[in-house]
Structure 1
């Protein structure tokens, strides 16, 4: 398969966060890490924002060989049958939410490899009818009252034996970097939990038949274990439709 045939759509909620420059700057570090790692692996990367709407996002990703949905703000509660007003509620981007949810549905229909990171995991779950714990309260999953680059914590995740993510990352326990105040509650249709934090909260999910893996942590963080992001992205490359056709 030629490099030109491998296009990876890296999809974020928005490219601009003028209301929160510190957070915006750190998002650029994280998303930039995904882009650089993918390019180093031979991908042609299209970095896209979902806040242009569903039609625009589906058109822009129509010929992508794989998709990564990266982190960002909370999903609007209406998409999982809940209400706002919960602790630490962030700005909601309903247009971006709807577009990313539609992208998950199309990925499943087409058998398109998809990796979800942090918010991306929650998008996958909500797209398939799952719900979210809206706030984890005082937990080990996020630091508060510190500069944005320091909000991530380091903790272990226990992976399900024989799962795709355990195969990719090479063992039953991995160390991860994460920052999230929400988590999977009810699991979406067709999904399996393949990783949990020591406190029991969901940290990894996979689709039972579609090539979809999602993690709640940030393998793209500069302090994440070396090779973790590359392993997850490499799995997308080897499972693209173009790769299957060339096999």
Structure 2
């Protein structure tokens, strides 16, 4: 990156306040902290923002000058945003204002061509923002999340296969990865302009990217401490290169 002032990366989470679940709150701090540290190593000046706490207008204003955006993991997206229904198995808490705010940021990124990376929920936000749907539950015995365990044990390792022609495979330098995931939902019908570029062995879509815009989503958690290689650093480094191209 050039210049004396590092470009701004907007790191957007659901909320900074989780008084009702201290264990989950503490685990989120680890994941977010690791992402911030990796982004700073990649040359970013990171601004941490919470969608639920700020609301749509304030989040849009706070991210207006960002060179790139990362939308982090978190709660299930309100089914009303993608034509789904409530009452599904393992339904989690919803944050409708966070949904609206993050969806607005993702749509503006697409309109402007701002580089955008979505992680887990953020990956799903990208798909819903561009008109896609979600599979509401992968089932009690899916290989994508450990259930009935403490939150810091919910991640489960599994293999994903990447499309060799994808920008994501080029960025990560691999066609096969072991990843850490903890999700019970997944991308369903793809949003406009998106294509699936990674899959688990059960066919679950594990990554998406836009066909023409610098927008990528990964369903897994590259920021988890159990990740076996520098997936997060490679993703954030690629985001930096996309930001340089967008600014040129």
TM bucket, shorter chain: over 0.9
Deviations 1:130-173 (A, max 9, x none): 11111111200001111111110000100001101110111211
Partner of 1:127: 129
Question: d(CA) in 2 for partners of 1:5 and 1:243?
Answer: 15
Structure 2: gaps spanning 5 or more residues: none
Q: Hey, what does 1:185 align to over in structure 2?
A: 188
Q: Distance in 1 between matches of 2:29 and 2:120?
A: 15
Contact 2:133/2:190, CA 8 A, preserved across alignment? yes
Secondary structure class of the residue paired with 1:4? coil
Match of 1:42 in 2: 43
Structure 2 CA distance for aligned equivalents of residues 245 and 141 of structure 1: 37
Structure 1's 149 and 238: CA in aligned 2 closer, same or farther, altered over 3 A?
same
TM-score (structure 2 length as normaliser): 0.96
Give me the whole-angstrom Cα distance separating, in 2, the residues matched to 1:141 and 1:63.
35
Question: Under a length normalisation based on structure 1, what TM-score does the superposition of the two structures give?
Answer: 0.97
CA distance in 2, matches of 1:83, 1:238: 39
SS at 2:177's partner residue? strand
For the 8 Å contact 1:158–1:196, the answer to whether it is kept is yes
Q: What residue in structure 2 maps to residue 24 of structure 1?
A: 25
Aligned to 1:118: 120
Q: Distance in 1 between matches of 2:163 and 2:145?
A: 24
Deviation at 1:226, TM superposition (A): 2.4
Residues 113 and 246 in structure 2, CA contact (< 8 A), matched pair in contact too? no
Matches within 5 A, 1:138-217: 138-217=141-220
Aligned residue for 2:39, secondary structure, equals helix
- Structure 2 equivalent of residue 9 of structure 1: 10
Aligned CA-pair RMSD: 1.1
- In the alignment, is residue 223 of structure 1 matched against residue 220 of structure 2? no
User: What's the CA shift for 1:22?
Assistant: 0.9
Contact 2:118–2:126 (8 Å) recurs in 1: yes
**Structure 1: which 5+ runs fail to align?**
none
Aligned to 1:102: 104
Q: Does 2:89 align with 1:87?
A: yes
Match of 1:67 in 2: 69
Q: How many residues align?
A: 245
Q: Distance in 2 between matches of 1:139 and 1:85?
A: 19
Q: Where do 4+ consecutive residues of structure 1 move more than 3 Å? A: 242-246
Maintained 8 Å contact 1:3/1:43: no
Q: 1:205 deviation in Å?
A: 0.0
Q: Quick one: structure 1 residues 101 and 6, their matched pair in 2 at CA, closer, same or farther if it must change by over 3 Å?
A: same
Q: Alpha carbons of 1:3 and 1:107: their partners in 2 closer, same or farther (altered >3 Å)?
A: farther
Instruction: Report SS of the residue matched to 1:226.
Output: coil
State whether structure 2 residue 78 is matched by structure 1 residue 76.
yes
**Aligned-partner SS, 2:86:** coil
Instruction: Pick closer, same or farther for the CA change 1:20–1:104 going to 2, 3 Å.
Output: same
